[in-house]
Amino acid sequence: MTEPTTISPPATTDTIATVYRRRHRDFLRVAAAITGSADATLDAVQEALTRAYARRRSFRGEGSLEAWLCRRLRRLPSPSRRTFSRLPRSWGMNDQG
């Protein structure tokens, strides 16, 4: 298992690119769980990376860069999220943090 990347803020484009290359499959798994679609998964990961580059100065270094990048991914608007929000609470899918 790869150790999380702890860096001092701000995150540089090179650091983000390095973490992205090293953890690409993990980001794809997170996106697949959110979107449920292969095409949407790739689009979501690309969009999250684009947003991370644009907002790299907002990285405060309070956690790992991987966690920060996953948060960018989880915050993307997704049609599948609307489906999840309609599922019964007993399924445990309404707790999206």
Per-residue confidence at 6, pLDDT binned at 50, 70, 90?
Answer: low
CATH number at residue 70: 1.10.1740
Residue 96 lies in a domain: no
The predicted pLDDT at position 62 comes to 83
Residue 24 lies in a domain: yes
The predicted pLDDT at position 10 comes to 76
The predicted pLDDT at position 25 comes to 92
| Cα–Cα distance, 5 to 59 (Å, whole number) | 13
Residue 70 lies in a domain: yes
pLDDT per residue as tens digits for the range 22-48: 999 999 999 998 888 888 898 899 999
The predicted pLDDT at position 39 comes to 83
| Cα–Cα distance, 9 to 65 (Å, whole number) | 10
Residue 23 lies in a domain: yes
Other beta carbons within 10 angstroms of residue 95's beta carbon come to 6
**Global pTM?**
0.67
pLDDT per residue as tens digits for the range 49-90: 999 989 888 888 888 888 899 989 888 875 544 444 444 444
Per-residue confidence at 11, pLDDT binned at 50, 70, 90?
Answer: confident
Residue 46 lies in a domain: yes
Residue 55 lies in a domain: yes
Q: Where are the alpha helices (DSSP H) in 1-97?
A: 13-35, 38-54, 65-74, 79-85
Residue 65 lies in a domain: yes
How many separate domains does the chain show? Answer: 1
Of 8, 4, 22, 95, nearest in space to 59 by CA: 8
Domain that holds residue 44: 13-86
